[in-house]
């Protein structure tokens, strides 16, 4: 049942891609200039099937009583950590609630990793009490209240790196996942800024993190 559903969605995806392929290619030339966006379009087919299959499977393993409403589930475990991107920045939440990056460890980079289900996580800033979120524009922000956009799927990568992608976005099954990422701040190597999640790609160093116990 599950396998046939997945096969079905892949078939639908391929049909959609073949129908819209021409349009996407012309958009790429006419309106889209960013390297990452071009790369996302090129890899859309591969990553979107991986991503949507994962989200469906992970949400399905949640207790049936929740009707997939993972926001009603209490965390089963809490762990104080720091997240350091493979680009060299610790993920920080500043007093203002802004998400940033720093090459050194600060109080702003102490995070509480909350486990909702084995691969479903929430990331809370210990100093501010705010949760990391990804909004519908693909921007990395923080939120005080529990809502679907503070939930991430954690993927374990080779060499003990982890990546975190939004469980809620993107809505479109044609799009690859939106990941948490940190890149260098323009003009100052000491600081990092959050990448626009809607422009990230799995495998990029910006989106790979080491998780260090605090």
Cα dihedral value 196, 93, 54, 59, nearest 10: -130
Convert residues 69-108 into a mask of x (bound to ligand NAG by CB under 6 A) and - (unbound): -----------------x-------------------xx-
**Residues 51, 176: contact at Cβ < 8 Å?**
yes
Q: Min. distance of Cβ 202 from ligand NAG in angstroms?
A: 13
How many residues lie near ligand NAG (CB under 6 A)?
7
CB under 8 Å to 199, separation ≥6 — which residues? 34, 36, 37, 40, 138
> Does 205 engage in binding with ligand NAG (CB under 6 A)?
yes
> Does 160 engage in binding with ligand NAG (CB under 6 A)?
no
CA of 53: how far to CAs of 47, 60, 154, 168, 174, in Å?
A: 10, 11, 14, 14, 12
Rounded CA separation 206/87 (Å): 6
Rounded CA separation 44/65 (Å): 34
Closer by beta carbon to ligand NAG, 70 or else 90: 90
Q: Min. distance of Cβ 182 from ligand NAG in angstroms?
A: 13
Closer by beta carbon to ligand NAG, 58 or else 91: 91
Q: Return the residue of 77, 189, 212, 214 that touches ligand NAG, per CB under 6 A.
A: 189
**Residues in 17-76 that interact with ligand NAG by CB under 6 A:** none
Rounded CA separation 74/20 (Å): 41
- Binding region for ligand NAG (CB under 6 A): 86, 106-107, 188-190, 205
């Amino acid at each position: 049942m599950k396998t046939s559903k997945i096969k079905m969605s892949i078939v639908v995806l391929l049909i959609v891609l073949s129908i819209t392929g021409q349009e996407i290619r012309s958009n790429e030339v006419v309106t889209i200039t960013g390297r990452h966006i071009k790369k996302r379009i090129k890899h859309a087919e591969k990553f979107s099937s991986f991503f949507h299959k994962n989200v469906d499977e992970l949400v399905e393993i949640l207790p049936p009583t929740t009707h997939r409403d993972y926001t009603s589930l209490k965390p089963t475990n809490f762990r104080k950590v720091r997240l350091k991107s493979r680009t060299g920045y610790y993920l920080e939440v500043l007093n203002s609630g802004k998400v940033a990056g720093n090459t050194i460890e600060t109080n702003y980079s102490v995070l509480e990793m909350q486990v909702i289900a084995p691969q479903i996580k929430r990331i809370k800033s210990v100093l501010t009490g705010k949760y990391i979120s990804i909004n519908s524009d693909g921007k990395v922000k923080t939120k005080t209240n529990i809502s679907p956009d503070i939930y991430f799927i954690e993927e374990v990568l080779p060499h003990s790196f982890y990546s975190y992608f939004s469980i809620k976005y993107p809505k479109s099954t044609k799009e690859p996942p939106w990941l948490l990422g940190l890149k260098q701040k323009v003009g100052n190597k000491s600081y990092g800024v959050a990448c626009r999640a809607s422009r990230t790609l799995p495998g990029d160093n910006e989106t790979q993190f080491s998780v260090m116990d605090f």
